[in-house]
Amino acid sequence: MSGKLNFKLRLWRQKDKVSEGKFQEVEAKNISPDMSFLEMLDEVNNDLMRKGEEPVAFESDCREGICGTCSLVVNGLPHGPEKGTTVCQLFMRKFRDGQTISVEPWRAAAFPVIKDLVTDRDAFDQIIAAGGFVSVNTGGAQDANALPVRKCDADTAMDAAACIGCGACVAACPNASAMLFTAAKISHLGHLPQGQPERERRALRMVAKMDELGFGNCSNHYECEAACPKEISVEHIARMNRDYGLSALLGTERERGNTGAG
């Protein structure tokens, strides 16, 4: 026995943003069980090109589970069936020989399909630009212990900072909500002293931008946490909601003070 695997793939093919897409059935033959999912797609594309057919477009970069570009829905699950794993680190031994595998792009109005399996996730960059940063003075780097941070805050900030911005939370959510992504970015900075100066307006601006871009709201399905390859907790959404509510209240109180309203 060779130990090689064979699969039937249902690949989403779409020429461009305005064209209608459809599934194309392709065979993946003689696949090593030690191949990653993206390596398998590379082999499929090689076969397509040998036949004179156009290869399927998909994104990848690091192929180490840290860049977030390998955004595919595999058999209805963002990043596939392996929990806490990006699709570039999903190995073909997780599938049965002869299995039919459906491969689709993220499905969300805010993530339009560019071509085949490639989506435009510029919306995440816009949310970050709205407030996911800190203002610091230029100059030499401070000593690491110049600003003491409690261990619990450091741990929570690091957990939130693990977000790679892949968009699996959006793809998994029935509302196409980006709240876990936005909350992770807000919570990461909100637990650190460097993030305090912009803390109020950060939550207001990032949530406003998220809503403006057409992402849905959270209705507590918890699919986002289940699909997240870094297993980021929905507790960060609660933290974001507190920051947002407090910031909105403080802004209202300041407005009343400025106008003299009683």
Region 177-202: mean pLDDT is: 93
Domain ranges of the chain: 5-114, 122-257
Higher pLDDT, 198 or 11: 11
The DSSP code sequence of the chain is ----EEEEEEEEE-SSSSSPPEEEEEEEEEE-TTSBHHHHHHHHHHHHHHTTPPPPP---S-SSSSS-----EETTEET-SSTT--GGG-BGGGS-TT-EEEEE----TTS-EEETTEE--HHHHHHHHHH-------SSPPPTTSS---HHHHHHHHHHHT-----HHHHHSTT-B-HHHHHHHHHHHHTSGGGSTTHHHHHHHHHHHHHHTT-B---S--HHHHH-TT---THHHHHHHHHHHHHHHHHHHHHHHHHT--
Count of CB atoms situated within 10 Å of the CB of 46: 11
Asked if residue 72 lies in contact with residue 58, where contact means CB atoms within 8 angstroms, the answer is: yes
Q: For residue 30, give the nearest of 44, 19, 15, 16 by alpha carbon.
A: 44
Domain 5-114 grouped into CATH 3.10.20.30? yes
- Predicted TM-score (pTM) of the model is 0.90
- How far is Cα of residue 99 from the mean position of the Cα atoms in its chain? 27
Mean pLDDT taken over the chain:
93
The DSSP code sequence of 180-202 is HHHHHHHHHHHTSGGGSTTHHHH
Region 228-247: mean pLDDT is: 95
Region 59-73: mean pLDDT is: 95
Architecture of the domain whose range is 122-257: Orthogonal Bundle (1.10)
Q: Does 257 have pLDDT greater than 90?
A: no
Region 210-229: mean pLDDT is: 96
- Rounded Cα distance between 175 and 216, Å, is 5
- Rounded Cα distance between 244 and 183, Å, is 10
Asked if residue 103 lies in contact with residue 12, where contact means CB atoms within 8 angstroms, the answer is: yes
pLDDT of residue 258: 61
Among 17-26, 57-66, 175-184, 250-259, the least confident range: 250-259
- Rounded Cα distance between 225 and 234, Å, is 6
Q: How confident is the model at residue 262 (pLDDT cuts 50, 70, 90)?
A: very low
Q: How confident is the model at residue 254 (pLDDT cuts 50, 70, 90)?
A: low
Taking only the tens place, the pLDDT of each residue in 106-134 is 999 999 999 999 999 999 999 999 999 88
pLDDT of residue 148: 87
Higher pLDDT, 2 or 84: 84
- Rounded Cα distance between 163 and 185, Å, is 8
Region 179-189: mean pLDDT is: 96
Q: How confident is the model at residue 1 (pLDDT cuts 50, 70, 90)?
A: very low
Q: Does 253 have pLDDT greater than 50?
A: yes
Q: How confident is the model at residue 135 (pLDDT cuts 50, 70, 90)?
A: confident
Q: Does 49 have pLDDT greater than 50?
A: yes
Region 133-152: mean pLDDT is: 80
- Rounded Cα distance between 149 and 178, Å, is 28
